[in-house]
Amino acid sequence: MAKEKDIGAAVFSALVADDDVPPAPAVPPASGGEELRPSGWPAATPRPANAPRTPRPINWHAPVSPAQRPAPAPARPAPPPAQAPQPPAAETPLDFDFEGAQPFDLFDDVPQSGYTAPQETDQAFPDLYDRDPEEAEPASRAPQRRTRTGGGSGSGGGRPPRRSTGTARRGIPNKTIFAWAGIVLIALLIILYFVFFGGKDGDVAPGTSGSVPSSTSQPADSTPPDASSAAPVETIPRDEWYMVLANRSSVLPGDFTVAETATVGEAVVDARIAEALRQMVNDAAAAGVKLKPTNGYRSIARQQELWDARVKTLMEGGLSQADAETKAIDYTSAPGTSDHNTGLGLDIVSEDHPAKDAGFAETAAAQWLAEHAADYGFILRYPSDKTEATGMDYEPWHYRYVGSEQAHKIKESGLCLEEYLAQ
């Protein structure tokens, strides 16, 4: 036994390195001078410092003292004992005799004993088809009627009667078809009535043309429309020389001038309208009316002289320059705002009535001009009912050349020149 211990100590000391084994606790030497070790602690074999290290086994662990070991885990509680299987409960017999039971109807919940299947007729909904009570039942339905017989076994003994799928029912009677056809026909007649006669009084619905031409809804003897109701005039040559406009809102440029002038009677006018003016004077004389053209073209420079003279006169009366210029507008047009500056406007009186006043409107010359001036291309420049549009008082003697075609359109429209060009 002692020999085996020595062999085990030698193997242990060969496997364990000096630095891997914790040093043994020192024990004071005895009186003999030798160091004492605890019982059971093997003495380490001295090894040179340069000696190779012996590899340790993979499963080697340093010895641990009992004091350093962890406390054991508490034991798991024992599982509860399994319950013994319970014997099956005794089945309680049903108090029902299946063998002697009579079959029952699944639909009516009526016992089969003494039961007769209900007759499948249309009396469940008597008013659905309005059938005549005396009408015989179709023969095609007769085979489907059968009486339920007793017995719980055999072919069809316990089954309910087969329900009809409705294929043998009658179609919709003629009464219903005629009723619906009558309703649709009445609705169509009402729609056609409103389509053809709804616009009878001239009130045509939006988006429809109506059956009555639009010309019949307008009175034949309608009065000339005013500026707000007049229809737009097509193709107005606003850029042509004879359509130039001069007023307080449309001032002519300062360098505006008439290239060539001509004299007719006492009036100097644009040479391009002289021939039409002469023809009008001659035709009026042939009709017994003696027209007298006067006060025609006035240059902007001449208009400036007249304007300055009027303002100076008013300032001499005690007005300031601003007040004098405001007052002068009532007597003289500012430069570039007079129709005389265009060379196309002039005053026309008669030898019988040379004064330019409201009385001229009652003369034969004024009446002849109102009727025939448009034929020669002239219009009344400042009508009595257009003072707000023109900015000038009524002047029955002042006429303006716009060409024969445009003169007739302006006369028929009932508009003044400002309104006509504003379309």
User: Catalytic site residues?
Assistant: 395
DSSP for 76-121, written as a single string: PPPPPPPPPPPPPPPPPPPS--TTTPPPB-TTT--BSTT--PPP--
On whether the CB atoms of residues 261 and 343 are closer than 8 A, the answer is: yes
Q: Where are the beta strands (DSSP E) in 27-102?
A: none
SS3 135: coil
Torsional sign, CA 303, 305, 306, 308: positive
Decide if 195 contacts 180 (C-beta within 8 A). Answer: no
DSSP string, 127-156: TTTT--TTPPPPGGGGGG-------SSSTT
Whole-angstrom Cα Rg for the chain: 67
CA angle 181, 187, 193 (to 5 degrees): 135
> Quick check: 340 and 298 in contact, CB under 8 A?
yes
Please, what is the end-to-end C-alpha distance for the chain in angstroms? 142
Category of 391 on φ-ψ map: left (φ > 0), alpha (ψ -120 to 50) or beta: left
